[in-house]
Amino acid sequence: MIPPQFDYFGLSFSEGLAPAKLDGKWGYIDPTGTLVIQAQYDMAHPFHGNLASVQIGKKYGYIDKTAKYIWESSQ
């Protein structure tokens, strides 16, 4: 069971992680409820093909499971 420390989290896990909102920012949790990618994004989508779409301000990009940007918009 996930501890009630998050504002919201995805109802299902994709590739072992789920987006979770904490203090107004999004990150990713594992099935134990551990925050494995820090809550730093304004929007975070589920992982597909080992990548997830994220947004900070007007910048969009794709991160891997280590939070490394694979592609980032130029805005």
The reported pTM is 0.85
| DSSP notation for 9-68 | E-SS-BTTBEEEEETTEEEEE-TTS-EEEEEEESEE---BTTBEEEEETTEEEEE-TTS-
Phi (first) and psi of residue 69, to 5 degrees? -70, 130
pLDDT digits (tens, 9 = 90+) for 5-61: 666 566 678 999 999 999 999 999 998 889 999 999 999 999 999 999 999 999 999
Please report, for the chain, the start and end positions of each structural domain, with discontinuous segments joined by +.
8-72
- Closest C-alpha to 18, from 41, 39, 45, 42: 45
- Domain 8-72: CATH class, spelled out: mainly beta
21, two tokens? 């909102």
